[in-house]
Chain A
Amino acid sequence: MTAVAELMDYAEVIERFDPVLGLEVHVELSTNTKMFCGCANVFGGEPNTHVCPTCLGLPGALPVMNGKAVESAIRIGLALNCEIAQWCRFARKNYFYPDMPKNFQTSQYDEPIAFDGYLDVPLDDGEVVRVEIERAHMEEDTGKSLHVGGATGRIHGAEHSLLDYNRAGVPLIEIVTKPITGAGERAPEIARAYVTALRDLLRAMDVSDVRMDQGSLRCDANVSLMPKGTSEFGTRTETKNVNSLRSVERAVRYEMARHGAVLAGGGTIRQETRHFQESDGTTAPGRTKETAEDYRYFPEPDLVPVAPSREWVEELRGTLPEPPWERRKRIQEEWGLTGEELRDLVNTGAADLVAATVDAGAEPGDARSWWVQFLTQQANAREVELADLPITPAQVARVIELVKSGELTNKLAREVVQGVLAGEGEPDEVVETRGLKVVSDDTALLTAVDEALAAQPDVAEKIRGGKVQAAGAIVGAVMKATKGQADAKRVRELILERVGA
């Protein structure tokens, strides 16, 4: 195993060096079908069930471009304030790897669909940093390999490998920043804030699931250091396998500290790919190659150029949603939140979700309390980002509506939400299948009340004698018998009615 890397104290790194960042984010588009064939684009599924001659790269099969993916690519480019190419092509990126069916990746190379843009990224303290975007281009995803046996889980040393091509050919957009300089000590924070802002934007656009845990949003972080006072970029490393927003920040900070130690010790940084290790927050080198990979790019002859008309581009510009940070500013005013309250909402990742829930018809107060309390607990328990919980703002709004109309109690509503989170379907389906409707039929309730009173005659006697608070025990018994589906207030009324009669 590799030795533990020397790290420089972070404050010293900042004192002696200026960090330069470059972030490459891969986004899987949530189109119905894959990039170049008609196979379903869905996460998971039994291995090799969403495949066809084209995405398996069978001899003779050909690609056909997914128009929806091109549309999403243009919209993303516009949302990132990019120029949209008048005419661009795909290229072939040639290299051998078993999870790539054709042994080349169909990807845009020197003619990206979108280029020269920027994203204004809000930091935690409200400061806004502009991150320049180099390009956003279209490409296809690879399959997945599972290397069995061996210590590293990588192809070298494995006893055998299993291949799943369900993901092969899923449309990807790669968004590349220009070098981010001058970030100083806030570099790791800016990296996280950028990916966060990008994720929120893409989610609002409804072009991707943007789930870092499922790989539908992946970030590669390029980091280098240059001694203070110089302007020539240092050698960079590219860290992959960064699977959460928190990891983005940790990975950048770790690499800065590692680079600092190497450079201060008179060493040189090797240009290499490193893998982030979630468990201990370190990075480890990937396989080193003696020669740089030569991808032998050339224009993809099986596809025709993409030449989006300006009319279409303008039409797509009109479909862009209100940017999340603008919506936040608006809701702060509308809901009368203090800056701190808004920041709390933003930091927990709840702001956009609350806003979307309000847009779906809920009262801001209800929406806030659901996301900030119960759903935040659920996210913490599952160790996922709030936004990655498998429930949508529209579903939360529906649950709130059911409570308002009296069809659910708060307790039942939480059960409904649990059901949605467990993948049991829409709130109404969960209500139906779990039988969670409030029992408002008095006849059914009266039977339960009578049974409870009969079972506890001593308590019934106490109530009759004027000790009204003793009714609590009977209420509890009725609620238990009705599995909590009764309205407690009504139960109490019925008990007093019965005893008094």
Chain B
Amino acid sequence: MTDLTRLTAAELAAKIHAREVTSAEVTRAHLDRIAEADGRVHAFLHVDTEGALAAAREVDAGLEAGHAPASPLAGVPLALKDVLTTEGIPTTCGSKTLENWLPPYDSTVTRRLREAGIVILGKTNMDEFAMGSSTENSAYGPTRNPWDHERIPGGSGGGSSASLAAFEAPLAIGTDTGGSIRQPGAVTGTVGVKPTYGGVSRYGLVAFSSSLDQAGPCARTVTDAALLHEVIGGHDPLDSTSIDAPVPPVVAAAREGARGDLSGVRVGVVQEFAGEGYQPGVLRSFQAAVEQLRELGAEVVEVSCPNFAYALPAYYLIAPSECSSNLARFDAMRYGLRVADDGEHGAEEVMSLSREAGFGAEVKRRIMLGTYALSSGYYDAYYGSAQKVRTLITRDFTAAFERVDVLVSPTTPTTAFKIGERVDDPLAMYLADLCTIPANLAGNPAMSVPSGLSDEDGLPVGLQIMAPTLADDRLYRVGAAYEVARDAAAGGSLVHQVPELEAAK
């Protein structure tokens, strides 16, 4: 029998729905793979073996009874980032503060996954409260990149990207505030999409920065990501910022793109995302990808987005400001870690000491930054100015999309760096999100798709594709066309070259 863990989600779904294999068998194969590989990779914080098998058996029973599958992905397993609430299943956000917290409710994404018959294998590791680009800020230890265990798998969603690259799951959910889906996708050779802000409900997504956070699909192929996107997307009355419009036709777009023709598509190369700070091998991979797009028939032009240069500093005012308020609720009064409640300390001291003990250094750094930026007398200079930059970036996008259909850039300036290399240098760490942040600030959708290996270190590189708001389908058309062409030229899917598969033998 073929190794079920090597198949795409679409292939698995086809086999399950054709009753060639049961969802329980597929789920069991992935649970076995997790048991075998996760000691090395540490992608998961919690594996819900019983829950996953029960969900799989339910799908099988439905198919057995002759019911149509609940969705095109019914029966396929998935790894869920530990920032989305799951009723009765621990949700820690990678923080000591929420160790042992059992949410009393499912996030809307969780609910939609369950309703679609998708089997949730467990919860994946992440930088604490999604703050970081390496998953080293998890209170539960780092996740290792399946391409090189000495290196980071990206962040904050390093657990989700690593679970895909380690073939522990064919699908995963990430959340992207400044690049936390796309950058991990790039450094692990997987696909990650940040949908249009408001395209996927944030209800039950534990907030880091409310105006930037967006959940999205992670997969090993563009088509799988599209199938997952359609499951989780769509209006949710429980999220006031959710867009009341149909989900863009992303699956159809991926199928169209896979035919390999991009004639008439105008692609803009963002001039500002090159040069100093960019690893030469990353830029060479990017140039090759642009060349490939041209060969597919796309018209490629250079586009300048001058205000993108201010995106990173603006982001590091807006995101910490919102986080300082969002994380205020972790005060030990109702849930979460509580220390010093010994009758000697008052409520305010218990709050303060619990927060001291429960939050890691990066979270505290951002709470302090944000508290300062919002302070009376500083608000206009910091938060106010950052909001103006946000408007300027949106204008850059608007102007660019008058000329081109999509914009492209490298997803991240370098390949996966070594674990520990940037932990003492927050600014170097923040640069990992240089190219991904503009789309968060403007709210438009963006994707990272593997563009091969960097020639100097043999590590994966990601091509970022950005589209206008609500034109998520364009990402999938261009991404799928590029993926097919690249794989054909390279003789196969990049992620199948991951050394972790060899390690298993």
Instruction: List residues of chain A with CB under 8 Å of any chain B CB.
Output: 53, 56-65, 92, 94, 96, 98, 101-104, 155-156, 161, 163, 294, 296-298, 301-304
Q: Given A94-B328, A98-B347, answer yes or no on A58-B321 (Cβ-Cβ < 8 Å).
A: no
State whether B240 touches A64 (Cβ < 8 A): yes
By the criterion CB–CB under 8 Å, are B239 and A296 in contact? Answer: no
**A60 close to B374 (CB less than 8 A):** no
Name the B residues within 8 Å of A57 (CB-CB). Answer: 329, 334
B346 CB, min distance to chain A CBs, angstroms: 7
Question: Given A59-B93, A94-B374: A298 and B383 within 8 A (CB)?
Answer: yes
Residues of B close to A302: CB separation below 8 A? 207, 210, 240-241
User: Contact: A296 with B204, CB < 8 Å?
Assistant: no
Point out the residues of chain B lying under 8 angstroms from A103, CB to CB. 328-329, 331
Q: If A94-B374, A98-B331, A101-B334 touch, does A59 touch B85 (CB 8 Å cutoff)? A: yes
A205 to B238, CA, bound (A): 30
Question: Can you spell out 24 A-B residue pairs with CB atoms less than 8 angstroms apart?
Answer: A57-B334, A59-B103, A59-B207, A59-B330, A59-B335, A60-B84, A60-B91, A60-B207, A61-B204, A62-B203, A62-B238, A62-B239, A64-B238, A64-B240, A92-B325, A94-B328, A94-B374, A101-B329, A155-B346, A294-B376, A297-B374, A298-B321, A302-B210, A304-B241
B 99-137 to A, binary, CB cutoff 8 A, 1 in contact else 0:
001011101000000000000000000000000000000
C-alpha gap A63/B210 in the complex (Å)? 12
- Report yes or no: B240 in contact with A59, Cβ–Cβ below 8 A: no
Q: Which 3 A-B pairs have the closest CB atoms?
A: A103-B328, A296-B374, A301-B210
Residues of B within 8 A of A102 (CB): 328-329
- Tell me if B219 counts as interface (CB < 8 A to partner A): no
Most buried by B among A61, A65, A92, A303: A61
- B302 to nearest A CB, angstroms? 34
Residues in B neighbouring A155, C-beta threshold 8 A: 346-347
Q: Check if B202 is an interface residue, CB within 8 A of chain A.
A: yes
Name the residue on A nearest B242 (C-beta): A62
Q: Which residues of B contact A101 (CB under 8 A)?
A: 329, 334
Kindly state the separation between the CA atoms of A156 and B347 in the bound complex, as whole angstroms: 9
Nearest residue (CB) in B for A99 is B333
Q: Chain B residues near A96 (CB, 8 Å)?
A: 328, 331, 348, 351
Residue among A58, A59, A64 with the most chain B CB within 10 A? Answer: A59
Check A53–B205 contact: CB distance below 8 A: no
Taking CB atoms, residues of chain B closer than 8 Å to A163 are 333
B307 contacts chain A at the CB level, 8 A cutoff: no
In the complex, the answer to whether A60 meets B351 with C-beta atoms within 8 Å is: no
Judging by beta carbons under 8 Å apart, are B210 and A296 in contact? no
What is the 8 Å Cβ interface bit string for chain B, positions 201-220, against chain A (1 contact, 0 not)?
01111110111000000000
Contact between A63 and B328, CB atoms less than 8 A apart: no
Convert B341-354 into 0s and 1s, putting 1 for each residue whose CB lies closer than 8 angstroms to a CB of A.
00000111001000
The interface residues of chain A lying within 8 Å CB-to-CB of B375 are 294, 296
Known pairs A63-B240, A304-B241; A56 contacts B334 (CB<8 A) = yes
Is B401 part of the binding interface, using a Cβ–Cβ cutoff of 8 Å? no
- Across the interface, do B241 and A298 meet the contact criterion of CB distance under 8 Å? no
Is B472 among interface residues, defined by CB-CB distance under 8 A?
Answer: no
**Could you tell me if A156 and B346 are in contact, using CB atoms closer than 8 angstroms?**
yes
Quote the shortest CB–CB distance from A266 to chain B (angstroms).
32
In the complex, chain B residues 369-415 whose Cβ is within 8 Å of any chain A Cβ = 371, 374-376, 379, 383
- In angstroms, Cα B67 to Cα A215, docked, is 56
Q: In the complex, which range does the number of interface residues on chain B fall in?
A: 35 or more
Question: Which residue of A53, A156, A298 contacts B374 across the interface (Cβ within 8 Å)?
Answer: A298
The interface residues of chain B lying within 8 Å CB-to-CB of A296 are: 324-325, 371, 374-376, 379
B325/A104 in contact, CB under 8 A: yes
Q: Which residues of B contact A61 (CB under 8 A)?
A: 105, 203-204
Query: How far is B207's CA from A57's CA once the two chains are assembled, in angstroms?
Result: 11
Q: Which residues of A contact B103 (CB under 8 A)?
A: 58-60
With A104-B328, A298-B321, A298-B325 as known contacts, state yes or no: A98 contacts B371, CB within 8 Å. Answer: no
Contact (Cβ within 8 A) B376 A62: no
- Nearest to B101 among chain A residues (CB) is A59
Give chain B nearest CB distance to A160 CB in angstroms: 9
For residue A38, which residue of chain B has the nearest CB? B238
* CB of A152 to closest CB in B, whole Å: 14
Q: Which residues of B contact A303 (CB under 8 A)?
A: 240-241
8 A Cβ contacts from B347-363 to A: 347-348, 351
Known: A94-B324, A301-B211, A303-B241. 17 other contacts (CB 8 A): A58-B85, A59-B206, A60-B103, A60-B105, A64-B238, A64-B240, A92-B325, A96-B328, A96-B351, A98-B333, A98-B347, A101-B329, A103-B329, A161-B347, A296-B371, A301-B209, A303-B240
Give Cα distance in the complex from A163 to B374, angstroms: 29
Residues of B within 8 A of A98 (CB): 331, 333, 347, 351
A301 touches B322 (CB 8 A): yes
- The reply on B314 being an interface residue by CB < 8 A is no
Instruction: Compute how far the CA of A163 lies from the CA of B325 in the bound complex, rounded to whole angstroms.
Output: 21
Q: A304 to B211: give the CA distance in the assembly, Å.
A: 11
Q: Mark B243-272, 1 if CB is under 8 A from A, else 0.
A: 000000000000000000000000000000
Q: Complex Cα distance A313/B93, Å? A: 44
Q: What is the CB-to-nearest-CB distance from A466 to chain B, in angstroms, rounded to a whole number?
A: 83
Chain A residues with CB under 8 A of B98:
59
Does the CB pair A62–B202 fall under 8 Å? yes
Q: How far is the CB of A95 from chain B (nearest CB, A)?
A: 9
Q: Does B277 contact A (CB under 8 A)?
A: no
The smallest C-beta distance from B237 to any residue of chain A, in angstroms, reads 7
Residue of B with least CB distance to A53? B105
Return A289 CB to nearest CB of chain B, in Å: 12
Say how far B241's CB is from chain A's closest CB, in angstroms: 6
Task: Give CA–CA (A161, B333) in the complex, Å.
Answer: 10
Q: Mark B186-202, 1 if CB is under 8 A from A, else 0.
A: 00000000000000001
The smallest beta-carbon distance between B390 and chain A, in angstroms, is 12
- The minimal Cβ–Cβ distance linking A490 to chain B, given in whole angstroms, is 63
Q: How far is the CA of A298 from the CA of B318 in the complex (A)?
A: 10
Q: How far is the CA of A296 from the CA of B328 in the complex (A)?
A: 12
- A59 contacts B91, CB within 8 Å? yes
**Chain A contacts of B104 at CB under 8 A?**
53, 58
Collect the chain B residues with CB atoms within 8 Å of residue A64's CB.
237-240
CB distance from A293 to the nearest CB of B (A): 10
Residues of chain A lying within 8 A (CB to CB) of residue B321 = 298
Complex Cα–Cα for A189 and B101 (A): 54
Q: How far is the CA of A103 from the CA of B367 in the complex (A)?
A: 14
Alpha-carbon distance A302/B239, docked complex (angstroms): 8
The minimal Cβ–Cβ distance linking A330 to chain B, given in whole angstroms, is: 44
Q: Please, how many angstroms separate the alpha-carbon atoms of A102 and B104 in the complex?
A: 17
- The answer to whether A60 and B334 have CB atoms under 8 Å apart is no
Q: Note all chain A residues with C-beta closer than 8 A to B331.
A: 96, 98, 103
Residues of B within 8 A of A104 (CB): 325, 328
| Chain B residues near A92 (CB-CB < 8 A) | 325
Residue from the list A65, A161, A294 in contact with B240, Cβ < 8 A = A65
Please give, as numbers and ranges, the residues of chain A lying within 8 Å of B330 by CB-CB distance: 59
Q: Which residues of A contact B105 (CB under 8 A)?
A: 53, 58, 60-61
Q: How far is the CA of A301 from the CA of B325 in the complex (A)?
A: 11
Q: CA–CA, A77 to B344, complex, Å?
A: 48
Tell me the nearest residue of chain B to A64, going by C-beta. B240
CB A106 to nearest CB in B, in angstroms, measures 10
How far does the Cβ of A64 sit from chain B's closest Cβ, in whole Å? Answer: 5
B240: A residues at CB distance < 8 A: 62-65, 302-304
Closest to A296 in B: B374
A residues less than 8 Å from B334 (CB atoms): 56-58, 101
Q: How far is the CA of A56 from the CA of B336 in the complex (A)?
A: 13
Q: In the docked arrangement, what's the CA distance between A101 and B336, Å?
A: 13
The listed residue (A59, A301, A304) touching B329 by CB distance below 8 A is: A59
A107 to chain B, nearest CB (A): 13
Tell me which residues from 151 to 177 in chain B have a Cβ below 8 Å from any Cβ of chain A: none
Complex CA gap A424/B333 in Å reads: 39
